[in-house]
């Protein structure tokens, strides 16, 4: 009997060891992107780190951006564009850095001009307008001539994402886990299992109702846009739609009235808007979306095309 116990135990150990190696060496688990709390931006990716997950590379530079290494200000003769946004612009770790739309935009613009173009990506998954305002308060615009501010439909009423999630939510680790298996279970497997069992954690109650949150977001947005423009930086807003706003069989968005008011606010500051829900109407394809919000590599290419043709 004891012999069988040892054999079964040994087989289980070998299986777990093999799975650990596959997860760590093959898929990139065990070394996730690390986060840090920030009073103004809520949270940031820790500076100077690189990760490869599912074969897709992510590099975070010294300024917490998903961009290659850069300087606080551009060199003479360099045209710099700062992209600000959430996971739609960040691209998620399922998208290689070279396939994010800011990277594609830099490559495409560089082929059109003789001077040097640099496109930076100041972004983080889960950021709301308030977090993005905080990032600008922390770091300003890095001497960019243009700020491209990506704002999704759902962002219009999204509250500030606070720093308390860092180190507590498995999506926001501040240290590497001991095992890749630990991350795979805690960050991916258990949340999905809990969801299938109907044991989702209770949502944090909102401090403001929908309308008040929209007004607060617009107040922060308006104040920030005025400061950026006064400092000589052009602002362009990229309105990113949810998939159900542009794909066939779509339903009318409950956010339509907020979106209309937001566009009016942009117009009052003479801020151009690139509204993908209009540009993609009747043209969008399911392959452009990874889920209801995030874009695939082909979706990112379509964003890049709209930015070049429409505003840049």
Lowest mean pLDDT: which of 77-81, 116-120, 206-210, 217-221?
Answer: 206-210
- Say yes or no to pLDDT of 284 above 60: yes
**Quick check: 176 and 28 in contact, CB under 8 A?**
no
- Say yes or no to pLDDT of 310 above 60: no
- Say yes or no to pLDDT of 138 above 90: yes
Strands 35-38 and 42-45: antiparallel
Strands 234-240 and 146-152: parallel
CA proximity to 89, closest of 281, 259, 236: 236
State the chain's mean pLDDT as an integer. 91
- Say yes or no to pLDDT of 5 above 70: no
Q: Report d(CA 253, CA 22) in Å as an integer.
A: 42
* Phi–psi pair at 83, nearest 5 degrees: -95, 130
Here the tokens at position 244 are 């159900």
Lowest mean pLDDT: which of 249-253, 276-280, 290-294?
Answer: 249-253
Confidence band (pLDDT; 50, 70, 90) for 157?
very high
* 276, containing H or E segment: helix 276-279
196-226 burial code (b ≥16 CB/10 A, e <16): eeeeeeeeeeeeeeeeebbebbbebbeebbe
Is CATH 3.40.50.970 the classification given to domain 61-159+206-310?
no
- Looking at per-residue pLDDT, the higher value among 134 and 13 belongs to 134
**Residue-wise pLDDT tens digits, 265-276:** 999 999 999 999
Q: Burial-class residue 250 by CB neighbours within 10 Å (0-12, 13-18, 19+).
A: middle
Alpha carbon distances (Å) from 1 to 6, 7, 13, 15, 136: 9, 10, 18, 21, 66
Cα 274 from chain centroid (whole Å): 18
**Quick check: 230 and 141 in contact, CB under 8 A?**
no
CA proximity to 294, closest of 145, 61, 3, 100: 100
- Looking at per-residue pLDDT, the higher value among 118 and 205 belongs to 118
Paired strand residues for 237: 149, 273
The predicted model gives 39-48 an average pLDDT of 98
Percentage of residues of the chain with pLDDT beyond 90: 73
**Residue-wise pLDDT tens digits, 189-239:** 877 877 677 666 655 666 789 999 999 999 999 999 999 999 999 999 999
Cα 158 from chain centroid (whole Å): 14
Q: Report d(CA 225, CA 266) in Å as an integer.
A: 9
Domain ranges (residues) in the chain: 61-159+206-310
**Quick check: 57 and 95 in contact, CB under 8 A?**
no
Confidence band (pLDDT; 50, 70, 90) for 311?
low
- Say yes or no to pLDDT of 300 above 80: yes
């Amino acid at each position: 009997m004891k012999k069988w116990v040892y054999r079964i135990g040994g087989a289980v150990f070998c299986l777990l060891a093999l799975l650990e190696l596959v997860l760590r060496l093959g898929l990139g688990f065990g070394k996730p992107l690390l986060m840090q709390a920030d009073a103004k931006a809520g949270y940031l990716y820790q500076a100077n780190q690189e990760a490869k997950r599912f074969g897709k590379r992510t590099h975070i530079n010294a300024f917490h951006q998903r961009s290659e290494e850069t300087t606080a200000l551009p060199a003479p003769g360099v045209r710099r564009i700062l992209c600000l946004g959430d996971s739609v612009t960040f691209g998620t770790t399922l998208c290689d850095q070279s396939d994010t739309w800011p990277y594609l935009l830099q490559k495409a613009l560089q082929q059109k001009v003789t001077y040097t173009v640099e496109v930076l990506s100041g972004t983080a998954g889960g950021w709301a307008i308030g977090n993005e305002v905080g990032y600008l308060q922390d770091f300003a615009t890095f001497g960019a001539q243009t700020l491209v501010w990506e704002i999704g439909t759902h962002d219009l009423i999204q509250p500030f994402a606070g720093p308390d999630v860092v180190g507590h939510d498995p999506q926001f680790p501040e240290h590497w886990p001991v095992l890749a298996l630990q991350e795979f279970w805690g960050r991916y497997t258990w949340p999905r299992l809990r969801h299938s069992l109907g044991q989702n954690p209770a949502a944090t109650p909102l401090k403001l109702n929908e309308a008040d949150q929209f007004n607060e977001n617009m107040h922060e947005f308006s104040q920030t846009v005025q400061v950026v423009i006064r400092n000589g930086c052009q602002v362009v807003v990229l309105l990113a739609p949810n998939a159900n706003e542009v794909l066939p069989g779509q339903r009318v968005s409950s956010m339509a009235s907020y979106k209309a008011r937001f566009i009016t606010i942009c117009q009052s500051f003479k801020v151009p808007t690139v509204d993908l829900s209009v540009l993609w109407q009747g043209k969008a394809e399911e392959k452009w979306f990874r889920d209801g919000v995030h874009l695939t590599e082909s979706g990112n290419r379509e964003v890049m095309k709209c930015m070049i043709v429409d505003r840049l």
